[in-house]
Structure 1
Amino acid sequence: MKEGMKKTVCVFCGSSYGSKPAYTAAATELGELLAKKNYGLVYGGGTTGLMGTVAKAVSSNGGYVHGIIPSALVTKERADESKIEEINKEVMQGVSNHKGTTFIAENYGKTTIVSDMHTRKKMMGQEADGGFVAMPGGYGTLEEVMEVTTWSQLGIHQKPIILFNIDGFYDKFITFLEEVVFNGFISETHKDIVHIATTAEEVIEKLEMYVAPEGRFNLDWSSQ
């Protein structure tokens, strides 16, 4: 942990860039702001896509970065610097990519290689004393943010959980969650476990002002 650092925030996001330059721009802005506010970053360890963007933004601004990646994904979510520069040019032209093919780059903070996805998520969750932020991503991102939300509902933790709704990316998902509440599968109280932010500044504000809602389960996990 870096001296003077407040807390470490876990960011879930895609190892691809997505179809809009706004996603990359917001990831860069969030990374820069985390470093400026003295927050560390723990993330999935990739150098491609939004993962690499937010990690490099934190690291290049003097912030602490810890990437945790399963060994099987190193060749899928890591790329060398020359590849990353090519991908950055492509994404600005709207080209889809997911091309990490080589060794671990050195300027994305420290990296821990683990054996499997469960270990990755456990370590990320343990280090993230500052909370969790979900930027745009695919199945993995949705699974990760829903798992830590369930952990909060069950009383395993009371850390902030923020959806970074860049350019309306999560609008339909938020509507779906409202439908789940309406149909009685999530209580009105538990709906407030997840907070929504639309700018990097709002992400930081929500992290700092977050209060876990009352009425969550209070299960004893000490013997687990």
Structure 2
Amino acid sequence: MNSIVVFCGSSEGNDPAILQAAAELGKILAEREIILVYGGAKIGVMGTVAQTTLDKDGKVIGVIPEFLKHKEVFHTGLTELIVTQNMHERKLKMHELSEGIITLPGGYGTLEELFEMITWAQLGLHQKPIGILNTNGFYDDLLQLLQKMVSKGFLSQENYDMILVDDDVDGLLKKMVAYIPLPLPKWIKKEQT
């Protein structure tokens, strides 16, 4: 993989291990010469992963909508900053620029980004690996809810299994490199992807 989009919070939260994991991810991305694509802010978990990647001489592309540019205090030292007109254009651009997706802890926006990418994968619109870095079990309850969706017949086990989960950066990246995507759904033709 040459580029990974990272979805995560614009807040720091209150668990120091989450910021440590974000810094570890940034360090490893830089070392492996994997371009970081992210939301463009210099604050929160987002800022930590971006700054660490830059500090280790990695490349970082920020993608931020115009209306959030000042609210989220955009990072001025990025390799490249792309300003979009809205959130939808932002997600589409992040998706276009990346070969894989990693989600770190965050709030509503982080979950929304994650679930849009999962939905697109489920529909056969992409076959990129989707990873969750589950630091200190942050996503345990969400994963339990998704398992409940499987048991209640709202989600197939194979679509649940598309989500790669690990509490270790290196372990997650190994799973992403080894990921074999599901075959395209029968109702999606190859030329539509």
Q: TM-score scaled by structure 1?
A: 0.82
Q: Which has the larger radius of gyration?
A: 1
After TM superposition, give the deviation of residue 202 of structure 1 in Å: 1.3
Q: 2:107 matched to 1:138?
A: yes
CA contact (8 A) 1:189 1:214 kept: no
Q: Secondary structure at the match of 1:15?
A: coil
1:205 to 160, 164, 174: 174
Q: In the aligned structure 2, how far is the partner of 1:153 from the partner of 1:217? A: 12
The alignment yields a C-alpha RMSD, in angstroms, of: 1.7
Q: In the aligned structure 2, how far is the partner of 1:163 from the partner of 1:208? A: 14
Q: 2:31 matched to 1:36?
A: yes
Q: In the aligned structure 1, how far is the partner of 2:186 from the partner of 2:78? A: 37
Q: In the aligned structure 1, how far is the partner of 2:123 from the partner of 2:96? A: 16
Residue 65 of structure 2 corresponds to which residue in structure 1?
70
After TM superposition, give the deviation of residue 59 of structure 1 in Å: 1.2
Percent of aligned pairs with the same amino acid: 38
Q: 2:123 matched to 1:128?
A: no
Q: 2:124 matched to 1:155?
A: yes
2:77 to 107, 112, 126: 107
Q: Secondary structure at the match of 1:151?
A: helix
Compared CA separation, residues 113 and 171, structure 1 to 2 (3 A): same
CA contact (8 A) 1:190 1:216 kept: no
Runs ≥4 residues deviating over 6 A = none
> CA deviation digits over 1:70-126, x for unaligned, max 9?
111112211xxxxxxxxxxxxxxxxxxxxxxxxx44323311111100110000001
Q: 2:158 matched to 1:195?
A: no
Q: Which amino acid aligns with 2:124?
A: G
CA contact (8 A) 2:41 2:75 kept: no
Q: Secondary structure at the match of 2:62?
A: strand
CA contact (8 A) 1:70 1:114 kept: yes
After TM superposition, give the deviation of residue 213 of structure 1 in Å: 2.9
CA contact (8 A) 2:38 2:62 kept: yes
Q: Secondary structure at the match of 1:23?
A: helix
Q: In the aligned structure 1, how far is the partner of 2:131 from the partner of 2:98? A: 13
Q: 2:42 matched to 1:47?
A: yes
Q: Secondary structure at the match of 1:184?
A: coil
Give the count of matched residue pairs: 193
CA contact (8 A) 1:155 1:217 kept: no
Q: 5+ unaligned residues in a row in structure 2: which ranges? A: none
Q: 5+ unaligned residues in a row in structure 1: which ranges? A: 1-5, 79-103
Compared CA separation, residues 60 and 180, structure 1 to 2 (3 A): same
Q: 2:59 matched to 1:61?
A: no
1:179 to 148, 151, 166: 148
